[in-house]
Structure 1
């Protein structure tokens, strides 16, 4: 799985910040939360044939 880019993390952090009501002084918290979410996201799940 590819690591999220800085831009992807910043965009997700901004979304989280907006959803939280745009609180001041929590930029690092939202950045780390976004980074963790994106790293845990499984973009290419392993699949098995349906007939197994």
Structure 2
């Protein structure tokens, strides 16, 4: 299960980076991209009850 969480977190991280790269200047905050990426990935594969919610990393 921990590997699934890591995998999902890696998917979010990758998507957030892609969104950041595609953004026009000025770029938003990292949390904005993390939340957008998490929302997009959850829509693609909604979590089951056992899947943990992956929060944005704390600064």
Normalising by the smaller structure, the TM-score range is: 0.5 to 0.7
Count of residues in correspondence between the two structures: 40
TM-score by length of 2: 0.57
**Structure 1 unaligned blocks of 5 or more:** 43-52
Higher relative contact order (CA 8 A, sep 6+): 1
Query: Higher helix proportion, which one?
Result: 2
Looking at CA atoms only, which structure, 1 or 2, has the larger radius of gyration?
1
Write out the 4+ residue segments of structure 1 that deviate beyond 2 Å after TM superposition.
none
TM (normalized to structure 1)? 0.64
Listed as ranges, the gaps of 5+ residues in structure 2 are: 46-59
